[in-house]
Amino acid sequence: MQEVIVGVVGLGNVGLGALQILAENADQIALKLGFRLQVKVVCSRAPENKALPPELGGVMRTRDWRDVVTHPEVDIVAELVGGTGAARGIIDAAIENRKSVVTANKELMALCGAEIWDRAISAGINLAMEASVAGGIPIHAVLREGISGDRITGIYGILNGTCNYILTEIESRAAEFSAVLAEAQRRGYAEADPSADVDGHDARSKLAILAALAFGERITPSDIFTEGIRRISPVDFQYAATLDHTIRLIAAARQTPSGLILSVRPALIPKSTILASVRGAYNAVWVRGRYGEDTFYYGQGAGSRPTGVAVVSDLMRVAREIRNGSPERVSPFAHERLGEYQPIPVTLQNRAFYLRFRVVDRPGIIAALSRILAAKNISLDAVVQLPSESKSNLPFVITTERSSERDVREALGEMSGLDFLVEPPLALPIETAL
């Protein structure tokens, strides 16, 4: 049976991983498909620097992505360049040339997924983006196929491996954020410019895509409240532990009667929840459905070969669809906003909060703080203070009952004037849904 022809643009870790799998696992892939996947052209910046697996056979090498998207034999273009620059042009050109597209590009799909999907449908080609979220976890297949009959009410993800690695290191070694980050950078677990990871932007792009798939809604990164992990310190894990909780960067999309609340932020989660067992660079997604109840998915969040599996699995699915003559007909991103899934600001939600203060020790501090909270009708749940040497930088924690996030933020704003505060208070929601 005739093969389906693949062209690859971008030969970074993911591209190399995918090509290695296509080469080594070719026979089993052909057994599953009933035909072979053949790579015929690969575009990379410096072809002379990177050899391809010999099992791939004769592959045309090029520096110009136009050679791939215009190659007469190519059926599927794998866009593995990433970013929002050249990638958009590559995908648009591929679609114009009626090539199907497999992409690992979270940033681009988060920003323009709906438009790209619409163009793919009108061009009558196929599109797949499994590798764009949570590398080795097949969460797209789960949401689009496996539980597509359910009505999703919430998603809670650990979607950035770098942040999860840093947080679990702070937790296990009681090391400060800056020290752990520096070591992660030395070991290559974190970028030289870490902000995309540690400030939550990477997880935000992934959540935008997952929420779109789960709710059939146009979600863009700007709909998502985003806060990073730079302020999390060992004392926060110590205090969280006294409350039987730990801290993770949680990407959450939850349905409420008034709309969707979307956030990427560090949160306290119960030690008993399975999400708390996710350590190091792993990713996980907890999905809550009205009918299927809770399901949980866990795996490598990144890495050449796990993400390569996602790309290859997408190539197989798209190749099958091409063979079946069944182009994309329905976008996973809905074309109008359904009221119940309208994103609303996090300030409209009621949550229990963990408030961590660092103060110059003196009498009357609790009184001053609790007066401000009381004025906003914020009820205290507990005041916790662990033994500490320092009188000049004394940490302690107040937890609140469920309160409006708007009120909590206003209260924290009013505290900014208090001269006994060494730094602004840290406020983390306490995740009670898990």
Judged by the rule CB under 8 A, the positions of this chain that interact with a copy of itself are 17, 20-21, 24-25, 28-29, 31-34, 130, 136-142, 145-151, 216, 274, 277, 289-300, 303, 305-306, 308-313, 315-317, 320-321, 323-326, 329-330, 332, 334
Per the listing, tokens 């208090």 go with 418
Which residue has 């935008």 as its token pair?
208
User: 414 exposed, middle or buried (CB, 10 Å; 0-12, 13-18, 19+)?
Assistant: middle
Nearest-approach distance from CB 414 to a copy of itself, in angstroms: 42
* Rounded Cα–Cα distance for residues 118 and 87 (Å): 17
Residues paired with residue 156 on neighbouring β-strands, in sequence order: 252, 286
99 is catalytic: no
Nearest approach in angstroms of CB 55 to a copy of itself is: 14
Q: Minimal distance in Å, beta carbon 335 to a copy of itself?
A: 9
Structure tokens at 285: 């997604």
* C-beta of residue 352 within 8 angstroms of C-beta of residue 65: no
CB–CB of 135/299 below 8 Å?
Answer: yes
Query: For residues 215 and 209, is the Cβ–Cβ distance under 8 A?
Result: no
d(CA 11, CA 44): 5
Task: Report the nearest approach of a copy of itself to the CB of residue 375 (Å).
Answer: 43
Q: Is the CB of residue 9 less than 8 Å from the CB of residue 90? A: yes
Rg (CA), the chain: 24
| Dihedral angle over CA of 311, 314, 320, 326, nearest 10 | -140
Catalytic residue IDs: 206
